[in-house]
Amino acid sequence: MEENQPKIGKFAWTFGLLLGAASIIFSFMLYTAKMHYEQNWSVRIIGIVLTIVAIVIATMQYKKANSGFLSLSEALKLGTGIGLVSGILALAFYWLLTNVIEPDFMDKAMEIAKVKAFEENPKITEEQWAQGVEIQKNFAWLAYPIGIIVNVILGLVIGLVTGLIMKKQKDAY
């Protein structure tokens, strides 16, 4: 008799959507509070904590649905899948925010960065700043694939740690 094993893809999709929705809600909260330009450590830590919680809960639910068993590869697939799905959703919202909701987002972000850059490095000239901005604009599209890659790697690492802690193999016999 063949066992009905739960589908990793279903769990990755479901929890990836939930994490993506939570990330969008958090980003929207930052936007409404006019804090969406700030990329300080507390904002990043909250994003990482949300990811950890989603992957741990997904792994626990998967293990429960799989009769209490979990392999390391299953945990890695879950973490990676959740990272991919949530990363795509979060970047879709970021694109919507920067191109539709607030089309001058990049210009405002550059102004904030300019003030900070001149405070931290008073020797920088306007020409150097303008040259740096021009280079940055040419490579702005890289934020999307890099964002997805970072999310997938974060999911992979969290999945690895979660899998190492929670793994339980079926008996060989």
Q: Spell out the domain ranges in the chain.
A: 8-103+143-166
- The confidence score (pLDDT) of residue 149 equals 96
CB within 8 Å of 88: residues ≥ 6 apart: 20, 148
Asked whether 72 and 164 are in contact (CB, 8 A), the reply is yes
Residue owning tokens 């925010």: 97
Quick check: 5 pLDDT over 60? yes
pTM: 0.86
| Residue 163: predicted pLDDT | 96
Reported as a single tens digit per residue, the pLDDT across 95-153 is: 999 889 988 888 888 888 888 888 888 888 888 888 888 888 888 888 889 999 999 99
* Listed range (13-17, 121-125, 153-157) with the worst mean pLDDT: 121-125
Q: What percent of the chain has pLDDT over 90?
A: 56
The per-residue pLDDT for 61 is: 97
Is the model's pLDDT at 1 over the cut of 60?
Answer: no
Cα angle 49, 50, 55 (rounded to 5 degrees) comes to: 100
Burial degree of 3 (CB within 10 A; 0-12, 13-18, 19+): exposed
Residue 32: CB atoms within 10 Å: 9
Is a pLDDT exceeding 80 seen at residue 53? Answer: yes
The closest alpha carbon to 154, from 85, 74, 94, 93, belongs to 85
| Distance, CA of 82 to CA of 15 (rounded, Å) | 6
What pLDDT does residue 3 have? 63
C-alpha–C-alpha distance, residues 106 and 114, integer Å: 12
